[in-house]
Amino acid sequence: MSNFETVIGLEVHTQLNTESKIFCSCPTEFQSPPNTNICPVCCGYPGVLPVFNIKALKLALRVSLALNCKINPSIYFERKNYFYPDLPKNYQISQYKMPLGYNGALLLPSGKKIRINRVHLEEDAGKLIHKEDYSLVDLNRTGTPLLEIVSEPDLSDASQAFDYLTYLKLILQYIRASDCDMEKGSLRCDANISLRPKGQKELGTKVELKNMNTFKGVRVALEYEAKRQAHVLKNNQKINQETRLWDPAKLKTAIMRTKEEAHDYRYFPEPDLLNITVGDDLIKAESSNLGELPLAKSKRFLDDYGISGKELDIYISNINLADFFEEVVKIYTKVKEVSNFLLGPFLEQINNNKEGFSAVKIEAENFSKIVKYFSQGRLNNLTAKKVLSLSIFTNEDIDEIIDREKLTQVSNEDELLAFVSEAIKENPKAISEFNEGKQQAIQFLVGQVMRKTKGKANPKLARQMLEKTIKGGSV
């Protein structure tokens, strides 16, 4: 293994965030019933005329700029001809000779630079569902705008490929170009992988890997394939240039049955579509639509808020959470308090919700009250969490919840005294343990007071009162 170095290039397909398809007005909605978002254009009926969706160009341009690509000032489309039932026209409208973006680069957080060969626009194909002895076709996805992003073979192992994908996805999300949801199929990845003896300049024979449905799958498949190729080479056998499919159940790659003339697509210019100018005004507009990219945000969060390490990673990889954090600290400026509550109870609630962050309804101002009341002692750990759980997905007013649920923390000695006395009376065993010097016994008693007050007691005060009463012997 160590005598070889691995060379990997990735080909990513990502669906662009548009409302309608790339050449017709059908919705791109992912969850519609089968074959409802179809029309004569995307179904390839004779005589129809595709018309290009300008939003697809804008988003594609934004991606190209984020990946530091050169931009072709005028683009056109070509037909990629092949016959497969998920493609009703028998050709895919794509870009071949003149991609929108080329010669770009993505700088990974590790500092490694991955060159981008090309970024081009095309249309997605439909979906096939295979039954026992026939297949079903759903053409809803046909014509969804798709961006192909091809890296140079600059990745030197599986984990670097994983890092590249993770960071690329983050950027696509930051610039609002794509959801990048692999489960929904809005991001797909194929890989080219080859091995060569260390120090050799020319590339070895490459194998194309397909059918990796998760980022983790990509990593495991590449690890497997690198080992397989090393084994073949060590035995002085040759690697065949072929396409292999990853089998996530068997954790193996297997050769895909191919016909000799598999890649003869007979590209030619799409005569139904006009040339499109990618003017300076458009480029300027999309440059300013890029917004802040992850590296810049990372630096700013460190400089402005002093957030670093794991906490910083969480914010950078979760742009919604980061935005919400910034809204809150504009209203309630104690960064540490806000961040602790966001990364703790708040994130916990989100992680327990199927819809994730998109279910959050609470507004920054309302949320900031919880943190403030917690810091003032009006809410304790338990009641703050309770208030949050009632408001996070409803945005119900915090003051009203506290009122209704009678959740204000009891920080008044007179009100607590009865509960403290009760707790002591009912737990003689804990008292004697405490008198023997077992500190944890007091924690148990504080817990009892909390229970009696339904979580409303100020735990610090309860503890003080308990210690004072026991030591004073005045039970």
Partner 1 sequence: MVDKKVVEYVGNLAKIAINEEEKLAFSEQLSKIIAYIDKLKELDTANVEPMREVNQLEDAVRQDEAFLSKDSEDILSNAPSREGDFFRIPKVID
- Can you read off the two tokens belonging to residue 42? 């995307």
Binders of partner 1 in range 113-152 (CB under 8 A): 128-131, 133-139
Cβ within 8 Å of residue 176, ≥6 positions away: 17, 291
- Using the rule CB under 8 A, is 85 a contact of partner 1? yes
Q: How far is the CB of 357 from partner 1 (least distance, A)?
A: 25
**Residues 198-212, buried b or exposed e (16+ Cβ, 10 A)?**
eeeeeebebbbbbbb
Site for partner 1 contains 33 (CB under 8 A): yes
Q: How far is CA 112 from the centre of its chain?
A: 21
Q: State residue 273 phi and psi, 5-degree precision.
A: -120, 145
How far apart are CB 227 and partner 1 at their closest, in Å?
25
User: Does 46 engage in binding with partner 1 (CB under 8 A)?
Assistant: no
Q: Which of 7, 8, 10, 57 binds partner 1 (CB under 8 A)?
A: 57
Cα–Cα distance, 244 to 257 (Å, whole number)? 9
125 in contact with Zn ion (CB under 5 A): no
- Under a CB-based contact definition with an 8 Å cutoff, are residues 307 and 297 in contact? no
Q: Which of 29-37, 199-207, 384-392, 397-405 is the region at the interface with partner 1 (rule: CB under 8 A)?
A: 29-37
Alpha-helical (H) ranges within 364-458 are 364-376, 381-391, 398-404, 413-426, 428-435, 440-452
Query: Degrees (nearest 5) of the Cα angle 254, 257, 260?
Result: 135
Binding mask 41-70 for Zn ion (x = CB under 5 A): xx----------------------------
97 CB-near residues (< 8 Å, 6+ apart): 78, 267
Coil, strand or helix at 446: helix
Q: Whose Cβ is closer to partner 1: residue 29's or residue 422's?
A: 29
- Nearer to partner 1 (CB atom), residue 256 or residue 314: 256
Whole-number Å distance between alpha carbons of 274 and 242: 36
Phi, psi for 439 (deg, rounded to 5): -65, -30
Report the site for Zn ion in 22-41 (rule: CB under 5 A).
24, 26, 39, 41
Q: Which is nearer to Zn ion, 42 or 461 (CB)?
A: 42
Q: Which does 354 bind (CB under 5 to 8 A by kind): partner 1, Zn ion, none?
A: none
Q: Which does 271 bind (CB under 5 to 8 A by kind): partner 1, Zn ion, none?
A: partner 1
Nearer to partner 1 by C-beta: 166 or 268? 268
Contact between residue 316 and residue 292 where contact means Cβ atoms under 8 Å apart: no
**Contact between 271 and partner 1 per CB under 8 A:** yes
Stretch that binds partner 1, among 83-91, 304-312, 315-323, 386-394 (CB under 8 A): 83-91
Binding site for partner 1 (CB under 8 A): 18-21, 24-29, 33-40, 43, 45, 51-57, 74, 76, 81-85, 128-131, 133-139, 245, 256-257, 259, 261, 264, 266, 269, 271, 274-277
Binding site for Zn ion (CB under 5 A): 24, 26, 39, 41-42
